Amino acid sequence: MITPQNGIVDDYLARLEAAATALPADRRTELLEEIRQHIGDALSDANAQYESVVRNVLEKLGSPADIIAAEAPLGSAAPQPASPVPDRPRPRIDRWKIAGLGLLLLAALALLAFNSSQGDSPGTRPWPSPTWSSTTSVATPQ
Residues in contact with another protein by CB under 8 A are: 1, 27, 30-31, 34-35, 37-38, 40-42, 44, 60-64, 66-68, 70-71, 73-74, 87, 89, 92
Rounded least distance, CB 41 to another protein, Å:
4
What sign has the CA pseudo-torsion 84, 87, 88, 91? positive
Nearer to another protein, 5 or 71 (CB): 71
On whether the CB atoms of residues 57 and 41 are closer than 8 A, the answer is no
Nearer to another protein, 91 or 123 (CB): 91
Rounded least distance, CB 87 to another protein, Å:
8
Alpha helix positions (H), 62-94:
64-71
Nearer to another protein, 44 or 49 (CB): 44
As a whole number of angstroms, the distance between CA 12 and CA 15 comes to: 5
Nearer to another protein, 76 or 118 (CB): 76
* Other C-beta atoms lying within 10 Å of the C-beta of residue 28: 19
Rounded least distance, CB 38 to another protein, Å:
5
Nearest to 103 by CA among 95, 119, 49: 95
